[in-house]
């Protein structure tokens, strides 16, 4: 009786093999399609993380974005603080002071008056002239020392200056009425006992005595 049973096992196995082959084929096709799609996808470059900025000479800033748009922003003028501070420290405020009523207008100077030592000496027989003109000069802010007497009598007044002090000397001379031609460098011929430490020496002559009394 066993010999009469139909043999179905071989046919069933063949069907399974065909199904498996079909599944594998379909999977292969899908995989190939995915690879082709990925390979042909366009590459997207990342946008630039920072915009390009340029500063034209006209104190403006032009910014170019990644998309091509530009933006211009006005910029304030820049000043180097350290340079400005150094230049300011090197300068002294320049002022013009009215001259004494016996003279003209004071000459403008770039040297701070309080840093200039001035000696006023009386070269006449008129008492009190050195003190009088010391007060006049001191009124201009100059550092006037104690007035003294000259070692000789002088007809013409003069203002003598040390190296680098010609401008202060000219300003003092103008304030008290001494002519520019009488603004001279300090030498051993200056009629005072000593000029040590002095930047300017004023010799009050007879011409200034007459002016003081008028």
Per-residue pLDDT, 14: 64
How high is the pLDDT of residue 27?
Answer: 81
Alpha-carbon distance of 29 to 24, in angstroms, equals 9
CATH architecture of 93-213: 2-Layer Sandwich (3.30)
| Nearest Cα residue to 159 out of 129, 188, 119 | 119
What is the predicted pLDDT for the residue at 26? 79
In this prediction, residue 32 carries a pLDDT of 74
Using a 10 angstrom Cβ sphere, with 0-12 exposed, 13-18 middle and 19 or more buried, the burial of residue 199 is buried
8 A C-beta contact, residue 169 and residue 194 = no
> Using an 8 Å Cβ cutoff, are 140 and 170 in contact?
no
What's residue 19's pLDDT? 75
Q: How far apart are CA 59 and CA 151, in angstroms?
A: 66
Residue 171: the pLDDT is 96
Determine contact, residues 111/168, Cβ cutoff 8 Å. yes
Q: Diameter of the chain by CA atoms?
A: 174
- Provide the pLDDT for residue 150: 97
Give 10-residue mean pLDDT values along the chain (214 residues). Answer: 50 67 80 71 50 48 51 42 38 44 52 96 96 96 97 97 97 96 97 96 94 73
**Inter-axis angle of helices 129-138 and 166-176, nearest 10:** 120
| H/E run at residue 9 | helix 9-39
Where along the chain do the CATH 3.30.70.2390 domains lie? 93-213
pLDDT at 18: 74
Residue pair 187/161 in contact by the 8 Å Cβ criterion: no
SS3 8: coil
Report how far apart the first and last C-alpha atoms of the chain are (Å, whole number).
Answer: 170
């Amino acid at each position: 009786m066993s010999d009469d049973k139909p043999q179905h096992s071989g046919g069933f196995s063949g069907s399974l093999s065909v199904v498996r082959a079909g599944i594998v084929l379909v999977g292969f096709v899908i995989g190939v399609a995915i690879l082709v799609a990925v390979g042909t996808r366009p590459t997207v470059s990342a946008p630039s993380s920072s915009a390009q900025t340029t500063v034209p000479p006209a104190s403006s800033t032009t910014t170019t974005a990644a998309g091509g748009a530009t933006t211009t922003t006005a910029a304030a003028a820049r000043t180097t603080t350290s340079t400005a501070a150094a230049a300011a420290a090197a300068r002294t405020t320049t002022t013009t002071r009215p001259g004494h009523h016996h003279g003209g207008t004071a000459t403008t100077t770039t040297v701070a008056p309080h840093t200039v030592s001035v000696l006023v000496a009386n070269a006449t027989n008129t008492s009190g002239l050195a003190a009088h003109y010391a007060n006049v000069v001191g009124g201009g802010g100059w550092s006037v020392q104690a007035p003294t007497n000259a070692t000789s009598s002088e007809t013409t007044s003069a203002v003598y200056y040390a190296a680098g002090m010609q401008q202060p000397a000219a300003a003092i001379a103008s304030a008290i009425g001494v002519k520019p031609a009488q603004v001279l460098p300090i030498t051993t011929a200056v009629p005072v006992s000593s000029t040590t430490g002095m930047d300017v020496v004023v010799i009050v002559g007879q011409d200034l005595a007459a002016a003081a009394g008028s």
